[in-house]
């Protein structure tokens, strides 16, 4: 069976922090690509209060076998007490894109 490509999302409080995390994950070889977008407006409950903040989303594309290492790495560098971490398999990727993602070391 061919290894899968995975995607994970997290958010950070500033573009600078998001750009740094994205670039460092790629430089460390944990993600083939990391994209930063935003700001996005997040509405959430934290410690019993409804909050809203602008955040910047980082989308990581990576070989599924690197998922646990990437998650641990992101959590160890993340400024939030409870970072968002949503990870899922890409159900379909083009053969050329899959080969590129899986070939990045």
> pLDDT digits over 40-95, tens only?
999 999 999 999 999 999 999 999 999 999 999 999 999 999 999 999 999 999 99
Domain ranges of the chain: 5-103
End-to-end CA distance of the chain: 20
Q: Is the pLDDT of residue 105 over 90?
A: no
Cβ-proximal residues to 44 (8 Å cutoff; 6+ apart), any chain: 50, 51, 52
Residue found by looking up tokens 């989303």 in the block: 57
Please give the structure tokens belonging to residue 52: 């809203």
Domain 5-103 falls in which CATH fold? Answer: Alpha-Beta Plaits (3.30.70)
């Amino acid at each position: 069976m061919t290894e899968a490509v995975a995607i994970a999302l997290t958010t950070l409080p500033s573009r600078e922090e998001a750009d740094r995390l994205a670039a460092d994950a790629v430089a460390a070889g944990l993600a083939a690509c990391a994209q930063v977008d935003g700001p996005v407006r997040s509405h959430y409950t934290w410690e019993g209060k409804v909050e809203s903040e602008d955040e910047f989303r980082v989308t990581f594309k990576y070989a599924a076998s690197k998922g646990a290492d990437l998650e641990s790495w992101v959590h160890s560098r993340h400024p939030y007490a409870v970072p968002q971490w949503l990870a899922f398999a890409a159900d379909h990727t083009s053969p050329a894109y899959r080969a590129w993602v899986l070939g990045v070391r």
